[in-house]
Structure 1
Amino acid sequence: MIQLIQASAYFQVVSLAAMVDAGLLPDADRRVLVLANGSQMPEITTPLRENPGFDALAARFDDVVDLGELLWPRRPGQFNPRNEELPLFEKLLRHRWNLGEERVSLVLESIQVNPAQAMARIFFDAPISVHSDGLMSYGPTRNKQSMQMLQRLRETIHIDLVPGLEPMLLLEAPVQRKVLGLESLAAVFAELAAGLDPAELDLPPGAALVVGQYLGSLGILDAAAELELHHRMLLAARDAGASSVVFKPHPSSGPTAALQLRARAESLGLGFEILDTDLLAETVITLMKPLVVISCFSTALLSARYMLGTPVIAVGTAELLQELGPYQNSNRIPVSIVDALLVQKLQTPAEAGPNDELTPLLRAVAYCMQYENLPGLRGEAAAFLEANYSRFGAHFKRRRLAALDLPPHWAHPRRRRHWGRRLQRRALRVGTRSLQRLARTLQEGASRASR
């Protein structure tokens, strides 16, 4: 059997290499790594093949193909063939990727969106495994999946970024859970770092590392709010005792924000360097050994803390919990995780044992996000909110609780309750009038028929 393994980011390539080393991927006669660059602006970002250390990672696979090159000028995320085109694309991919007529299995990163969903539709009878490299696997499935898709799912493979925390991705499907331990991932990052010379980066010792995110590009914050958020990160670095800051912008962000942040750093008396590199944050941390890593809700915060043992600071998570919209935004669970662990100082499930508070918090948030897909979580979500809303209210929106009729009812917006009752009365009146019109129509029809 040939195994097609999709990756849309370089961190995924690293995590998949670690999964191969740990023996977590399903057995296959031949493994083909399918690159599908998921960048918002792939034209101006470094191709996955050109990232430092890629060749060493690619050696774990039998072949490497690039879906983006095949689809150009269409981006992989835009790949959404019509049903009648699926057999044609299967023939094309089998020919271009030298698959022949052999059976195929799929290891996909996200079956909710394209191109993963498109590949699942093209190879319609292939068993599916889902791999996850970040915090979103701890959140619920974004969209309701068809029964045919659910029946093909075999397992999920996730990194133990939050030690002991069970993912809620595909909670509605009977899948096997496989866990990639942080020690396996750390070994791959150590391999990548060993092939580099720290002197080439020329990083100041004892500096704070600020990891940027592209919140403005995603429409989560406007440019001014994102600049203020980064300014608060500079203040956190200064308060932590750093005399200089190394800023690693997100690969998809533009240069303007970094230049504005330099002026802010100089006004605070901080040295400031922009790290222009394609190295992943974890590789930089391994080489640099910073005083502290600072970000908002980047995955690098948790990999730095739990995998690399580096101090971390999260900034702006409480405000972002309220800014995120709609409530079911897929970033909500990652923000809740970082806020709960690094701001509210909860323990991970592995640390807390039977006193785990993080898991019930996230399950309550997940129910509020995707209540239609996860009706079985309603009872425990209600019980958690009744007992813990005063401590964890920032993770929930009052209007959402009111719409779902969840406790505590005293937190429901008053106007929302009145509006809801008016809406119910109006719906009842409309329904009554509709029934009356239907009854009259039936009576008139029966009268005409009897003549």
Structure 2
Amino acid sequence: MSPARRVQVLVASTAQGAALLAAALDAGLPGAAEERLLLVANTAAVPETTPAPDALPGFAPLRRRFDRVLSWNAVIRPLHPGAWVPRADDAPLWERQLRALWGLADAEVELAVEGVDAAPAQALARIFPDAPLDVYVTGAAAYGPTPGKLDPLLGTRVRRLLHPGLLPGLRPLLLTEFGVEARAVPAGALRAVLAEAARELPRPDVPEGCALLVGQDPDAPGALAADDEERLQTRMLRGLRELGRRAVVLAPHPATPEQRVRALRERAGELGVELTVPEGAPPPEVLCELLRPALVTGFPPGTLLTAGAVLGLPVARCGTDVPLGRMAPYENADRVPTVIADALLPDLEDPAAVGGRSLPDPGGHGGATGEETRTDLGGLVRAMAFCMWPQVHPELRGEAERFLAAHPEDRVRRHFPRRRLALLALPGALPPALAPVARSATVRRAARRARALGRRVRG
């Protein structure tokens, strides 16, 4: 009896995801298969008004890596792909339907999904309960913790974590509680895919040495409101102007409303900056490879880190304190990537700090305080991972305590709210002046009595 054929279903909800999957296939990471299907999921808030990843400029060269390109939205319409997960009792019916619809018959299905804690990944994992999983991330989220306690029946199905390897000196934390192997997609393979996509785009009429400003995803959790986004982008334009960059290319997210783009154009004109917006909202990473800008700045930390680490371009952050201060809940998955950018990249509003390097050297200094080395960055990320999900990584408590005790007060206050530290009984919860009081045995005994009394009252 001949073995069943193997079919890989690779799911992409962003152009960046499709590019990373293409690079992973070029590097041979997902392994062999008789057929590869790219399943495109448009998870924008209003998919009908936002182009899907396979409709964006530069996607055409990626198609040759896949035997077929399918639409998840078309399969489950009118349900929303970003929210729908089938009921457990309905999953076998959906599996039979999809096997018939996609001509899978009795093939062995393997899944590659972006993240595993939300739809559409959880929907497909439930529909194909025997399918092994590869999980991939496109930015720096691999270095953060798994968002919450994942069902062990799902977590143990994950074979490997694919990520772009943006920080070679930093070990990914995502899914490590399940012993998942992390595999970095080679930077050369990813850059080759981006260069191939860039060759399909017409070059905008902008001078050499322009800057690239990357917009935020307005539908992302924790995205800034329109007014806050405009104020921060104005700061970015002003910072670019002070650096002598009067020609700026804007890379808005495909879901960005046109009125926001028009408002930023007007603001740029008032500041004396010529703002160019390419047609079709091509992915910013592809624009980076097409234009080779003199400087890249903007919102998504993953894009900035990719531009610096993979494409070797000068990058700078601006106003990262704004999203960090408003990011809720504290467990937001974008927190760790934003903190990494805040710690590692130079400040656009500090001209002396913005040099020609793409990223600091592994043993060099970061951008936030002038004293964070790559080793310190690992300690910072792991301490933050414990503060975000202590029930997922309880083994990190000791490391978090040592890091918080060893670093200055301004560092603790910048990334670790006192209330959070107090809740977890970590160093830095109290101002330094009160630390001797907190260490007093008498005070600790009184606190224990008060807690015991409170429990009896509540009971």
TM-score (norm 1): 0.88
Residues 1:428 and 2:433 aligned together: no
For residues 174 and 290 of structure 2, the distance between their equivalents in structure 1, rounded to whole angstroms, comes to 33
Tell whether the 8 Å contact from 1:2 to 1:31 is kept in structure 2 after alignment: yes
Q: Which amino acid aligns with 2:43?
A: G
1:6 aligned residue (11, 30, 45): 11
**1:325 CA displacement:** 1.5
Q: What residue in structure 2 maps to residue 356 of structure 1?
A: 375
Q: What residue in structure 2 maps to residue 402 of structure 1?
A: 422
Tell whether the 8 Å contact from 2:140 to 2:337 is kept in structure 1 after alignment: yes
For residues 412 and 145 of structure 1, the distance between their equivalents in structure 2, rounded to whole angstroms, comes to 38
For residues 223 and 373 of structure 2, the distance between their equivalents in structure 1, rounded to whole angstroms, comes to 36
Q: What residue in structure 2 maps to residue 449 of structure 1?
A: none
**Cα distance per residue 1:224-246 (max 9 Å; x no partner):** 22111011001111111112222
For residues 328 and 316 of structure 1, the distance between their equivalents in structure 2, rounded to whole angstroms, comes to 20
Distance 1:299-1:256 versus aligned 2 partners, 3 A rule: same
Q: How many residues align structurally? A: 427
Tell whether the 8 Å contact from 1:165 to 1:350 is kept in structure 2 after alignment: no
2:71 aligned residue (60, 63, 66): 66
Tell whether the 8 Å contact from 1:193 to 1:283 is kept in structure 2 after alignment: yes
Deviates more, 1:148-157 or 1:49-58: 49-58
2:165 aligned residue (160, 169, 172): 160
Residues 1:144 and 2:163 aligned together: no
Q: Which amino acid aligns with 1:399?
A: R
Distance 1:67-1:216 versus aligned 2 partners, 3 A rule: closer
Q: Which amino acid aligns with 1:155?
A: R
Distance 1:239-1:422 versus aligned 2 partners, 3 A rule: farther
1:285 aligned residue (275, 288, 294): 288
Tell whether the 8 Å contact from 1:349 to 1:359 is kept in structure 2 after alignment: no
Q: What residue in structure 1 maps to residue 368 of structure 2?
A: none
Counterpart secondary structure, 2:182: strand
Tell whether the 8 Å contact from 1:213 to 1:298 is kept in structure 2 after alignment: no
Q: What residue in structure 2 maps to residue 121 of structure 1?
A: 126
Unaligned runs of 5+ in 1: 435-451
**Cα RMSD, aligned residues only:** 2.6
Residues 1:365 and 2:392 aligned together: no
Q: What residue in structure 2 maps to residue 441 of structure 1?
A: none
For residues 287 and 15 of structure 2, the distance between their equivalents in structure 1, rounded to whole angstroms, comes to 14
The 5 A counterparts of 1:201-220 are 201-214=204-217, 218-220=221-223
| Bigger Rg, which one | 1
The 5 A counterparts of 1:40-439 are 40-198=45-203, 201-214=204-217, 218-343=221-346, 347=360, 349=362, 356-390=375-409, 392-393=411-412, 394-411=414-431, 424-425=451-452, 427-430=454-457, 434=459
**1:27 CA displacement:** 2.6
Q: Which amino acid aligns with 2:202?
A: D
Deviates more, 1:42-51 or 1:327-336: 42-51
Deviates more, 1:169-178 or 1:202-211: 202-211
For residues 162 and 303 of structure 1, the distance between their equivalents in structure 2, rounded to whole angstroms, comes to 10
**1:413 CA displacement:** 12
**1:63 CA displacement:** 2.1
Tell whether the 8 Å contact from 1:156 to 1:177 is kept in structure 2 after alignment: yes
Aligned-pair identity in percent equals: 38
For residues 378 and 227 of structure 1, the distance between their equivalents in structure 2, rounded to whole angstroms, comes to 39
For residues 122 and 213 of structure 1, the distance between their equivalents in structure 2, rounded to whole angstroms, comes to 32
Tell whether the 8 Å contact from 1:11 to 1:280 is kept in structure 2 after alignment: yes
Q: What residue in structure 2 maps to residue 23 of structure 1?
A: 28
Q: What residue in structure 1 maps to residue 356 of structure 2?
A: none
For residues 309 and 361 of structure 1, the distance between their equivalents in structure 2, rounded to whole angstroms, comes to 25
Tell whether the 8 Å contact from 1:46 to 1:278 is kept in structure 2 after alignment: no
TM-score (norm 2): 0.86
Distance 1:103-1:303 versus aligned 2 partners, 3 A rule: same
For residues 216 and 63 of structure 1, the distance between their equivalents in structure 2, rounded to whole angstroms, comes to 28
For residues 219 and 395 of structure 1, the distance between their equivalents in structure 2, rounded to whole angstroms, comes to 16
**Cα distance per residue 1:59-104 (max 9 Å; x no partner):** 1122222111111121211221111101100001101111101221
Unaligned runs of 5+ in 2: 1-5, 348-352, 354-358, 366-371
For residues 142 and 413 of structure 1, the distance between their equivalents in structure 2, rounded to whole angstroms, comes to 35
**1:251 CA displacement:** 1.3
2:42 aligned residue (15, 37, 40): 37
Q: After TM superposition, where is structure 1 displaced by more than 4 Å over at least 4 residues in a row?
A: 215-219, 344-355, 420-423
Tell whether the 8 Å contact from 2:60 to 2:197 is kept in structure 1 after alignment: no
Q: Which amino acid aligns with 1:368?
A: C
Distance 1:421-1:327 versus aligned 2 partners, 3 A rule: farther
Deviates more, 1:359-368 or 1:74-83: 74-83
Counterpart secondary structure, 2:70: strand
Q: Which amino acid aligns with 2:162?
A: I
